[in-house]
Amino acid sequence: MKKILLLIFISLFYSSLPAQQVHEPSSKNHPEWSKPFPPFRIVGNLYYVGTADLACYLIVTPKGNILINTGLASSEKLIVESIKKLGFKLSDTKILLTTQAHFDHLGAMAAIKKATGAKFMVDYADAQVAADGGRSDYDMAGKVSVFKPIKIDRILHDKDIIRLGDTELIMLHHPGHTKGSCSFLLTVNDQKKNYRVLIANLPTIVTDKKFSDIPSYPHIAKDYAYTLRSMKKLKFDLWVASHGSQFDLLKKHKPGDPYNPAVFMDVKNFYDYLEELQGEYDKKMEKG
């Protein structure tokens, strides 16, 4: 409890500082991160409102909506326009979530929180990074924030449930990529059938350093191992991820395509991807 209160205090402190200097890292090598992509309905009440690669998800409920991830700081306008194109209102956003506390997923979070008054909820292990704008990130730590610090309203732990209207999300703690990377499981219905949906944060290795050379994250190797084991046990009907490229978004859905949840039901590809990541992890471990 003391740790939770401390993290909330840190979040209030950083988010209340006047006009903090934010230096978002260059994304010129990733033009797909800011390339617009037409919003569309994935399945049931789950919609895609992100860019060509930075995945953002809108979950619509009778009691308001949930937005997961916001992309770069410059993505704010794009997300707002995407939500409007789908026929929904940004002001109906009640809950904000993220799959990882990196600038390419939290860049516009503070701005959207301010515009909507929505509650921001984050995995406990990413709470400090979200609160200080990335200063304490184990791989990108610096003297300035890489995204605007975000006030935290609720700290989440493994298997916590987020409820809004008729929707329940289960947060799954999947650390490694960041200390508090997480995935979400939910059940949706499109009047034809129920679908168990996984919004996955895949455990890609972000650091070039040896795991043993990261004193700010001494249990990183154990966290990656845990996440790989955990994700291999997951059962679901349909999956998407933090990056469109990770679940072949551009191949599965072309602008203007009709509603077709089946294209996202390639469960085997998810497990195949995990095997590739397991191989990368094993090679990393061999180096120390």
**Distance between CA atoms of residues 280 and 278, nearest Å:** 5
Are 37 and 244 contacting, i.e. CB atoms less than 8 angstroms apart? yes
Task: With CA atoms as reference, report the closest residue to 284 among 211, 216, 206, 202.
Answer: 211
- pTM for this prediction: 0.93
- What is the pLDDT, as a whole number, of residue 103? 96
Query: What amino acid is encoded at 160 in this protein?
Result: D
Question: Is the pLDDT reported for residue 148 higher than 60?
Answer: yes
**Distance between CA atoms of residues 123 and 157, nearest Å:** 6
**Distance between CA atoms of residues 39 and 87, nearest Å:** 11
Task: With CA atoms as reference, report the closest residue to 57 among 232, 196, 243, 194.
Answer: 243
Domain positions in the chain: 2-15+31-286
Question: How does pLDDT run across 201-257, given as a tens digit for each residue?
Answer: 999 999 999 999 999 999 999 999 999 999 999 999 999 999 999 999 999 999 999
Question: Is the pLDDT reported for residue 15 higher than 70?
Answer: no
Question: Is the pLDDT reported for residue 16 higher than 60?
Answer: no
Task: With CA atoms as reference, report the closest residue to 102 among 154, 33, 155.
Answer: 33
DSSP state of 175: -
Task: With CA atoms as reference, report the closest residue to 46 among 17, 67, 32.
Answer: 67
Are 104 and 132 contacting, i.e. CB atoms less than 8 angstroms apart? no
**Distance between CA atoms of residues 93 and 65, nearest Å:** 5
Are 37 and 76 contacting, i.e. CB atoms less than 8 angstroms apart? no
Q: Residue 97 forms beta bridges with which residues?
A: 68
State the CATH class of domain 2-15+31-286.
Answer: alpha beta
Task: Please provide the DSSP assignment of 101-112 as one string.
Answer: -SHHHHTTHHHH
pLDDT bin (cut points 50, 70, 90) of residue 191 is: confident
- What is the pLDDT, as a whole number, of residue 97? 98
